[in-house]
């Protein structure tokens, strides 16, 4: 007799649970010490509330009706619920505000993702603009990952608005932009290039659209001419300086093609890696417009780790050492 569980979910047995709990407890302790108090929000949210944050977040796969016919969804991330919470419960609190969370989020399994239920551990810094805020979050995460044994971890840094700006400045037709961003967010460079080649653009614009998102490396890549994306690259140079001041600049790989799936990112975006495993351990970025949609206009940035992925990386690093 086999009693199945839904695709993308799993049972966690005691040995693994003990390690996951230890991992979460260590990160929680570090986040708390840095002033990032933990919050918890409901697993279910009203769809129209999440939609205020991001259309894509609201089209979560797990949707149901309450007894009044309103649509509820299982939260697909924690950033939007925290924006809702801050605008409501911290309406008059003096920024900056710092929060952490250790909760599950729910998304549909797809080609790049086999899980439907994620244990996320993350931090959100609200009310601290620009590269100083970003550097604070990145150094917190770097400290956390080092503390749990991922001494070789790296952080990819790009700009979430860069390619969108490029598409607009180079006058790529509106209806082409989302498909191109979608391909880029899945890192399907071959398909991206093929689609760009079919656009009615001058060869130089096409070249920029194809080559710029492939630029990846140390701070020296930020010195190349970025044309219409110069402002975004300038922001990344600021961030590099702030990371250098905090002594973690060598953790970072600049990646001009880094695009996160959600629309609310307005500036720097992050993705976390470890050389022992072939998948991202988490990500985040700056979302300066999100809080205003809930009624409190504050800049913000944050990063969420997929703790199951972090745990796998931790085990691999131990095995290799």
Residues forming the site for a copy of itself (CB under 8 A): 1-7, 9-15, 17-18, 20-21, 25, 28, 32, 37-46, 49, 52, 61-64, 66-67, 72, 74, 84-85, 87-89, 99, 104, 106, 116-117, 294-295
Nearer to a copy of itself, 104 or 246 (CB): 104
Nearer to a copy of itself, 90 or 189 (CB): 90
Nearer to a copy of itself, 52 or 251 (CB): 52
Query: Rounded to the nearest whole angstrom, what is the least distance from the CB of residue 49 to a copy of itself in the complex?
Result: 5
107: nearest Cα among 91, 120, 94: 120
Nearer to a copy of itself, 12 or 241 (CB): 12
Residue 229 CA to its chain's centroid (Å): 21
Query: Rounded to the nearest whole angstrom, what is the least distance from the CB of residue 117 to a copy of itself in the complex?
Result: 6
Q: Are 167 and 199 in contact (CB under 8 A)?
A: no
Nearer to a copy of itself, 76 or 131 (CB): 76
299: nearest Cα among 144, 170, 174, 128: 128
Give the Cα separation of 31 and 35 in Å (integer). Answer: 7
Query: Rounded to the nearest whole angstrom, what is the least distance from the CB of residue 203 to a copy of itself in the complex?
Result: 43
Alpha-helical segments (H) within 119-229: 130-147, 162-169, 174-185, 189-197, 203-211
Q: Are 5 and 111 in contact (CB under 8 A)?
A: no
Query: Rounded to the nearest whole angstrom, what is the least distance from the CB of residue 286 to a copy of itself in the complex?
Result: 22
23: nearest Cα among 111, 119, 87, 97: 119
Give the Cα separation of 302 and 286 in Å (integer). Answer: 7
Following CA atoms 169, 171, 176, 178 in sequence, which dihedral angle do they give, to the nearest 10 degrees? 20
Residues in the chain: 321
Residue 4, number of CB atoms within 10 A of its CB:
6
Nearer to a copy of itself, 5 or 320 (CB): 5
Nearer to a copy of itself, 67 or 250 (CB): 67
Query: Rounded to the nearest whole angstrom, what is the least distance from the CB of residue 92 to a copy of itself in the complex?
Result: 14
Q: Are 183 and 154 in contact (CB under 8 A)?
A: no
DSSP state of 110: B
Nearer to a copy of itself, 62 or 189 (CB): 62
Query: Rounded to the nearest whole angstrom, what is the least distance from the CB of residue 4 to a copy of itself in the complex?
Result: 6
Residue 192 CA to its chain's centroid (Å): 22
What pairs with residue 120 in β-bridges? 103, 306
DSSP state of 39: -
Query: Rounded to the nearest whole angstrom, what is the least distance from the CB of residue 282 to a copy of itself in the complex?
Result: 19
Query: Rounded to the nearest whole angstrom, what is the least distance from the CB of residue 297 to a copy of itself in the complex?
Result: 12
Nearer to a copy of itself, 85 or 210 (CB): 85
Query: Rounded to the nearest whole angstrom, what is the least distance from the CB of residue 250 to a copy of itself in the complex?
Result: 33
What pairs with residue 300 in β-bridges? 126
Three-state secondary structure call for residue 98: strand
């Amino acid at each position: 007799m086999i009693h199945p569980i839904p695709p993308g979910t799993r049972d966690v047995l005691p040995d693994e649970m003990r390690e996951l709990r230890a991992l979460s407890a260590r990160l929680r302790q570090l986040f708390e010490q840095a002033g990032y108090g933990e919050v918890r929000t409901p697993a279910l949210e009203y769809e129209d509330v999440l939609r205020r944050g991001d259309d894509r977040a609201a089209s979560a796969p797990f949707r149901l009706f309450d007894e009044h016919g309103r649509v509820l969804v299982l939260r697909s991330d924690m950033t939007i619920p925290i924006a809702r919470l801050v605008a409501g419960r911290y309406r008059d609190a003096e920024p900056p505000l710092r929060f952490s969370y250790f909760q599950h989020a729910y998304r549909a399994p797809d080609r790049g993702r086999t899980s439907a239920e994620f244990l996320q551990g993350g931090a959100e810094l609200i009310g601290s603009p620009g590269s100083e805020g970003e550097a604070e979050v990145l150094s917190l995460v770097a400290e956390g990952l080092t503390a749990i044994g991922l001494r070789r971890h790296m952080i990819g840094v790009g700009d979430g608005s860069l390619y969108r700006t490029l598409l607009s400045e180079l006058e790529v037709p509106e209806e082409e932009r989302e498909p191109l961003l979608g391909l880029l967010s899945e890192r399907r460079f071959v398909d991206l290039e093929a689609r760009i080649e079919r656009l009615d653009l001058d060869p130089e614009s096409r070249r920029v659209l194809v080559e710029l998102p492939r630029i990846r490396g140390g701070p020296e890549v930020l010195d190349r001419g970025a044309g219409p994306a110069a402002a975004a690259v300038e922001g990344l140079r600021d961030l590099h300086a702030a990371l250098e001041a905090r002594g973690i600049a060598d953790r970072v790989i600049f990646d001009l093609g880094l695009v996160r799936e959600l629309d609310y990112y307005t500036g720097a975006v992050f993705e976390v890696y470890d050389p022992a495993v072939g998948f991202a351990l988490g990500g985040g970025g700056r979302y300066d417009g999100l809080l205003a949609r809930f009624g409190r206009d504050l800049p913000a940035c944050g990063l969420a780790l997929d703790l199951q992925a972090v745990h796998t990386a931790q085990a691999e690093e131990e095995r290799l050492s």
